[in-house]
Amino acid sequence: MEILNLFNPDEFKVYLLVLARISVVLFMIPIFSTTMFPALAKAGLAMIMSMLLYSVVGIDSSFFPDTAIETGLLLVSEAMIGLLLGLCIRLFFGSVQLAGQVIGFQMGFSMINVVDPQSGANISIMEELGYWVAILVFLALNGHHIIIVSLIESFTLIKPGFFIFQKVMLVKILELGSILFLFSIKIGAPVIAALLFTSAAFGLTAKFSPQMNVMIVAFPLKIFVGLLLFGFSLQVVAVVTKDYIIDLKKLLLSLLFWAGGGG
């Protein structure tokens, strides 16, 4: 199907369905979803990718409805597919950020936040550090290639307009969320436990040596212990990110299989 066919109103409608799916994915995955990547550039990239995919995926425009309501429902269904793909990525990086946020709080960084250039929000320094380590590993292992390949294959598994939401999909996403929540606990638990023991030790010191100014010593020591152990935890982040990327394509394709009415 030639790109010039987009001037045909019926073909252009189908192009909009492809654009809806791709746009949601681009606006959700890391790097592209940030404010550092201009919205106009994201829109242009989504349009170009949609045009290229539209020309090779072969989509029949005869099924396209005539009413505005049905057309809107089709666009929503395509956006849901993009949301499904993007959510699997966002949940993983969210788990890394959660671990960093809790660790930063225990280290005493709850009042020391930085402005995240991606979202414009104030976030913990440790949260930002863990997030970017995961991003670098993700890009180094070509995780973005897996997303693009899965996005292309999604048009083979689910033609535009044939999305079917099944209960098993929600179950799979909830299972993924619980797994990633446990992952964030595995990252943060050793550091948090060490910091709690450090606080308990200084509490006992203050009890038996009231003349000692514990706060002057405790705060920098907790930062040192937290940074030291968080550095070891970053190795866990790198390993788990690698394992997640290896299984990512299988996960995305299994969700697309169910979304296409499989099972």
Question: How high is the pLDDT of residue 60?
Answer: 63
- pLDDT higher than 50, residue 1: no
β-bridge pairing 113-115 and 122-124: antiparallel
- pLDDT higher than 70, residue 227: yes
Which whole number is the average pLDDT over 205-219? 75
pLDDT digit string, tens, across residues 94-124 = 888 888 888 888 777 766 666 665 556 667 7
**How many percent of the chain have pLDDT more than 90?**
0
The type of residue at 7 is: F
- pLDDT higher than 70, residue 147: yes
Which whole number is the average pLDDT over 229-236? 80
- pLDDT higher than 80, residue 82: yes
Q: Which domain holds residue 49?
A: 3-259
Treating both helix axes as pointing N-terminal to C-terminal, what angle do 68-107 and 214-259 enclose, rounded to 10 degrees? 160
Residues 6+ apart with CB under 8 A from 47: 19
- The DSSP code sequence of 19-82 is HHHHHHHHTTSTTTTSTTS-HHHHHHHHHHHHHHHHHHS----TT--SSHHHHHHHHHHHHHHH
The continuous run of DSSP H or E covering 126 comes out as helix 125-140
- Specify the number of domains making up the chain: 1
SS3 123: strand
- Per the CB < 8 A criterion, the answer to whether 159 and 261 are in contact is no
Residues 6+ apart with CB under 8 A from 184: 95, 96, 98, 99, 102
pLDDT digit string, tens, across residues 25-46 = 888 887 777 667 777 888 888 8
The type of residue at 35 is: T
Q: The pTM is what?
A: 0.75
